[in-house]
């Protein structure tokens, strides 16, 4: 079994266009509806991001496989919602997570959004998720996993960086990260599964 890390490509910056109205954004979105590109919008800024391909998809699917294995074992009632589009004209925001999950029945929006970052710059993703009141956001970047949980203080919402998940209680994030970063997918799943069975 190998524990070498997944190779990451050189980071690219997204294209950013400022000063767009929601209507202009929706028009551009229809024109640029092509595979391999993802559009996000926040407060008049259009972000066009080229998807980096296989390494991105490998990490995204690895996280999904490991997380779903963890959720199945203790019997969480969850629904994977993938790259579900979240948008609000009133909030001036559109965002699609790489993976997302509803962790309780009857939820309209996901409890958890997962972002796999292979680019630099762009719109503030946490601000976008805050507009939708997504309770928890995970970022994987360069072999590091960061967890942010939404907090409310008075009328203000903000994300707090945590060392453990509040939405996926009990998950060993160090173990999860080691398995995410393994080269072989089957070895990663087996290693994670064996650790969960102990």
Gap between the terminal Cα atoms of the chain: 19
CATH class of 53-197: alpha beta
Residues lower than pLDDT 50 in the chain: 1-4
pLDDT for residue 6: 54
DSSP-assigned beta bridge partners for residue 102: 79
What pLDDT score was predicted for residue 97? 92
User: What pLDDT does residue 120 have?
Assistant: 73
The predicted structure's pLDDT at residue 75 = 79
Task: Return the pLDDT at 54.
Answer: 84
Distance CA(105)–CA(93), nearest Å, equals 25
For 150-184, how does the pLDDT look when each residue is reduced to its tens digit (9 = 90+)?
A: 999 999 999 999 999 999 999 999 999 999 999 99
Report the side by side order of strands in the sheet with 15-17.
15-17, 45-50, 37-42, 93-96, 85-88
Let me know: does 62 contact 54? Beta carbons within 8 Å: no
State how far the alpha carbon of 146 is from the alpha carbons of 23, 46, 170, in Å. Answer: 34, 25, 16
């Amino acid at each position: 079994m190998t524990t070498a890390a997944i190779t990451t490509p050189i980071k690219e910056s997204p294209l950013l266009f400022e000063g767009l109205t929601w209507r202009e954004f929706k028009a551009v979105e229809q024109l640029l509806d092509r595979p391999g590109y993802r559009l996000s919008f926040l407060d008049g800024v259009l972000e066009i991001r080229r998807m980096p391909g296989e390494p991105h998809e490998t990490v995204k699917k690895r996280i999904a496989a490991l997380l779903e294995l963890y959720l199945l074992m203790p019997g969480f009632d969850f629904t994977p919602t993938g790259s579900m589009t979240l948008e609000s004209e009133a909030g001036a925001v559109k965002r699609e997570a790489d993976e997302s999950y509803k962790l309780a029945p009857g939820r309209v929006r996901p409890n958890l959004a997962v972002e796999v970052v292979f680019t630099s710059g762009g719109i503030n993703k946490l601000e976008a998720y805050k507009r939708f009141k997504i309770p928890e956001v995970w970022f994987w970047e360069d072999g590091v996993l960061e967890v942010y949980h939404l907090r409310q203080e008075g009328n203000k919402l903000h994300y707090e960086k945590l060392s453990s998940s509040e939405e996926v209680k009990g998950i060993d994030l160090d173990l999860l990260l080691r398995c995410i970063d393994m080269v072989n997918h089957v070895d990663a799943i087996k290693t994670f599964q064996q650790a969960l069975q102990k």
